Structure 1
Amino acid sequence: MKDLKLVIFDCDGVLVDSEPITNQLFLDILKSYGLSIPHEEFVAKYVGSGMSVVKSLLYTHHHFTLPDDFFGIFNALSLEALQRDLKPIPNVEKAIDDLTVPYCLASNSSPEKVRLMLKKTQLFERFEGKIFTSNLVAAPKPAPDIYLHAAQANGVSPDKVLVIEDTHIGITAAVAAGMQVFGYTGTFPAQRLIDAGASNTFSDMRDLMGLMKKAYG
């Protein structure tokens, strides 16, 4: 794989199965404030976006302003729920351990949340010292900043990077960074990821190495 020098994993929905937990919690808290949103609408319109974007979109679509204490409540309850219920994405350990090139993680989530999730799923040792979160850059995904930062920190040109993402937001960020993206279909259907710019999609982490060999030789 001479043309591949680095693999960058998103975290939520790619390494850990956090999306169903936090999405439902978000909807439950919104409902307690009097706003009910169908799960399908929430996933389609909001998942993958940073919290400031979600806040803006809620006002745009529903004329709803999140209370000042919302994010504090949501973050605290999220950490509790993830510590209790989180699991790794099936077969992701093998996908990581089979890699023959360097790898790292780039996430919109907070450093605290990423560390908790990796430790809960026993993935932390694989990523210690290889974690990049959006607090390190000016703008979160869909801006390309975090992916460009991770590549630069590893001394790798963007065109030598493969990103593994599960949302159109993350794929948009990676494509804007000039990187190839494989879309994992755990959160969104394959076509949504392809439309965003993914060059391949897959639904089982055991298939990742085979796709990489086809793409890079």
Structure 2
Amino acid sequence: MNGRTGARPELVIFDCDGVLVDSEPISLVRLTENLQRIGVPIDLDTVARRFTGTSMTSIMAHIADDYGVPTPKGFVDAVRADTLRAFDAELTAIAGAAAVLETMRERRCVASSSDPQRLRHALSLTGLLPHFDDHVFSAAMVARGKPFPDLFLYAAGQMGVAPEDCVVIEDSVPGVTAARAAGMPVLGFCGGGHWAHDRAGADLLAAGAVRVFDEFTDLPHLLETWDASSR
């Protein structure tokens, strides 16, 4: 893989939850209620602030360390099943995502902290999966999830593209941190339903996003005007 000198990115790597599908308001509520059920004294705002964009493995490690509550047998599977049921009833794609993916020229893939079953279910349910030609990568495929760079480096390697020729679309601080650690520039998306948009924009910029946007339909223009100085 050799870096290009062209202006436009060769590969766009999308996070899924909160970027392609508006799943975070659903999954954060389900996670909060299930954590409370096993005795963790935590509220929705804390869960959203600390765990958005983080894998369940990392979340439960933090819960054990910070609250002294070990993961009960079957808990993670129960949370996943509960979340998938809620998705079936409530999940929608981010407004404008399907139309943009239909026309965008750049190669694209998904790199998400979600487990493979949830990830594919969400993309299938919202009709977005065909836009990625099965180029869908989960944190379950690497040793360390976000905020470590492993997943983004794995995705770029599988797609045969150098990290510097990618741009990542992320909505969370762990995701932005992971992409920057992988040597990839990031556009921060704060149009999902789970963030107060002013806070999200400031948080994502502070974590290293090149810029933020809150309308998915702005993405083609951002990619069209991309240049090497943005990297």
TM-score w.r.t. the length of structure 2 is 0.87
**Is 1:10 matched up with 2:21?**
no
Worse-superposed segment, 29-38 or 157-166:
29-38
| Cα distance in 1, alignment partners of residues 169 and 49 from structure 2 | 19
**Is 1:42 matched up with 2:53?**
no
Contact 1:106 1:146 in 2 (8 A): yes
Would the alpha carbon gap of residues 104 and 40 (structure 1) be closer, same or farther in structure 2, given more than 3 Å must change? Answer: same
Question: How far 1:37 sits from its partner (Å)?
Answer: 1.8
Aligned match of 1:176: 181
Contact 1:83 1:116 in 2 (8 A): no
**Is 1:88 matched up with 2:93?**
yes
Q: Could you give the per-residue CA deviations for residues 58-107 of structure 1, whole angstroms, max 9, x where no partner exists?
A: 23333333322211211111111112211001111122223211111111
Residue among 87, 109, 127 paired with 2:132:
127
For structure 1, the 5+ residue unaligned runs are none
Would the alpha carbon gap of residues 33 and 190 (structure 1) be closer, same or farther in structure 2, given more than 3 Å must change? Answer: same
Question: How far 1:35 sits from its partner (Å)?
Answer: 3.0
**Is 1:211 matched up with 2:222?**
yes
DSSP 3-state at the match of 2:226: helix
Which portions of structure 1, spanning 4 or more consecutive aligned residues, are displaced by more than 3 angstroms? none
| Cα distance in 1, alignment partners of residues 181 and 39 from structure 2 | 37
DSSP 3-state at the match of 1:146: helix
Question: How far 1:208 sits from its partner (Å)?
Answer: 1.1
Query: Aligned residue pairs: how many?
Result: 217
Question: How far 1:29 sits from its partner (Å)?
Answer: 1.5
Aligned match of 1:157: 162
Contact 2:176 2:186 in 1 (8 A): yes
Aligned pairs (5 A) from 1:55-74 = 55-74=60-79
| Cα distance in 1, alignment partners of residues 65 and 127 from structure 2 | 39
Question: Which residue identity lines up with residue 181 of structure 1 in the other structure?
Answer: V
Residue among 200, 211, 219 paired with 1:200:
211
Contact 1:7 1:163 in 2 (8 A): yes
DSSP 3-state at the match of 2:183: coil
Contact 1:171 1:198 in 2 (8 A): yes
Aligned match of 2:56: 51
Identity %: 34
DSSP 3-state at the match of 2:88: helix
DSSP 3-state at the match of 1:89: coil
Worse-superposed segment, 123-132 or 61-70:
61-70
Question: Which residue identity lines up with residue 90 of structure 2 in the other structure?
Answer: D
Residue among 148, 155, 160 paired with 2:153:
148
Residue among 86, 93, 116 paired with 2:121:
116
TM-score w.r.t. the length of structure 1 is 0.93
DSSP 3-state at the match of 2:110: strand
Worse-superposed segment, 62-71 or 72-81:
62-71
Contact 1:139 1:145 in 2 (8 A): yes
